[in-house]
Amino acid sequence: MLLIFSTIACFIGYAIFILLDGAAELSRIISRVTQVMLILSIYPLMCWLDISISDMGFVPVKIFLKQMIGGMALGLATLLPVLLLNHALGITVIDAHNVWTLDKLLVSLLVAFLLALMISLLEEPMFRGVLISAYAKRIGITATIFVSSLYYAVLHFIKTKTSIAVDEAEFSDSFKLLLEAFENLLNPDNFGALWALLMVGFFLAVMRTRLQLGLAWCIGCHAAWVWQIKMAHKLTTVDQNSDLLYLVSPYDGVIGPMVAIWLTVVLCVYLAYEQFVKNKQEG
């Protein structure tokens, strides 16, 4: 579906690019059109795979909101320590170029939160809803966690920053950009971030499968993570001279090996505890 939609997006994206007279980057238009088609495919996929709303993890509104708040608290508890440690170790420093007032800070917090919530509401029904519901019935829980997490992580790196001027653009450029986007998966600079996002996918997939938590927990947790990352971008900057720079990825200056190691430890502790409880019950 990704290959089909991204190919279709090359046709649609080029037409939009010409109509907008190059007001937006061709690569960005193609990416957005692909994302929209993936999101619009959720309902048809549910029907085709015979997946219900409850199978995806949705619950009544009041319960959904309570679960989402719980997920946000979990998101804060699992990422904020890493952000604070990054600052304590001198990997990130306060960005002195930004002058903050209370009004400006509150508006930034609100806008970042709304964007984070929108992202999680769009992504989680696909990755921790449809994919997990479909895979679990066919390949088992363990394989489902791995496949859905890998797909989630990989999609973040299918992109290119190549800019093309509208007066020089040709239709074939759409497909050249698409090829560049897939080639970006092999960029070694992204490996640290890829590892981190893979662990993020594992963490959320374990919540849905092993803990059997509702989708709202994943939405809340995801939103809190994105919210913190967006605010970290606004408030801090990466010290390029830090001896520990390798612990964050150039992908976004936040996620990277440190986040990956931290989530790996958290997951290992949980799985060890789960096995302990299981052995105790069997004993």
- Residue 42 inside a domain? The answer is no
- Single pTM value for the model: 0.88
Alpha-carbon gap, residue 19 to 135, rounded angstroms: 40
Q: What residues does 251 pair with on adjacent strands? A: none
Alpha-carbon gap, residue 95 to 230, rounded angstroms: 14
- Residue 29 inside a domain? The answer is no
Q: What is the pLDDT of residues 27-44, one digit of tens each?
A: 989 988 988 888 888 888
Query: What average pLDDT does range 62-86 have in this prediction?
Result: 95
Q: What is the pLDDT of residues 48-73, one digit of tens each?
A: 888 888 888 899 999 999 999 999 99
Query: What average pLDDT does range 233-257 have in this prediction?
Result: 90
- Residue 122 inside a domain? The answer is yes
pLDDT score of 282 more than 80: no
Q: Which residues contact 117 (CB under 8 A, 6 or more apart)?
A: 219, 223, 227
> What spatial distance separates the first Cα and last Cα of the chain, rounded to whole Å?
47
Of 208, 101, 191, 96, the closest CA to residue 145 belongs to: 208
- Residue 2 inside a domain? The answer is no
Chain length of the chain: 283
- Residue 22 inside a domain? The answer is no
Enumerate the H helices of 20-49 as residue ranges: 26-40, 42-48
Structurally, how many domains does the chain consist of?
1
What's the mean per-residue pLDDT of the chain?
91
What confidence score (pLDDT) does residue 252 get? Answer: 84
pLDDT score of 148 more than 70: yes
Query: What average pLDDT does range 111-122 have in this prediction?
Result: 94
Q: Which residue has the tokens 């619950």?
A: 59
- Residue 92 inside a domain? The answer is yes
Q: Which domain holds residue 63?
A: 53-159+187-282
Whether the CB-CB separation of 56 and 130 falls below 8 Å is answered with yes
| Dihedral sign (CA 254, 255, 258, 259) | positive
Opening angle at CA 148, ends 203 and 45, nearest 5: 130
Query: What average pLDDT does range 121-127 have in this prediction?
Result: 90
Q: How many helices (H) and strands (E) does the chain have?
A: 12, 2
- Residue 10 inside a domain? The answer is no
Question: Where does residue 161 fall: left (phi above 0), alpha (psi -120 to 50 degrees), or beta otherwise?
Answer: alpha
Query: What average pLDDT does range 251-275 have in this prediction?
Result: 91
Alpha-carbon gap, residue 62 to 50, rounded angstroms: 26
Question: How far, in Å, are 29, 31, 37, 156, 233 from residue 184 at the CA level?
Answer: 17, 14, 22, 10, 23
DSSP code, position 45:
H
Gyration radius of the chain's alpha carbons:
20
Q: What is the pLDDT of residues 134-143, one digit of tens each?
A: 888 888 899 9
* DSSP conformation letters of 134-174: HHHHHH-HHHHHHHHHHHHHHHTT--------TTT--THHH
pLDDT score of 13 more than 70: yes
Kindly report the backbone phi and psi dihedral angles of residue 237, in degrees, each rounded to the nearest multiple of 5, phi listed first.
-140, 155
pLDDT score of 283 more than 70: no
Query: What average pLDDT does range 203-221 have in this prediction?
Result: 94
- Residue 1 inside a domain? The answer is no
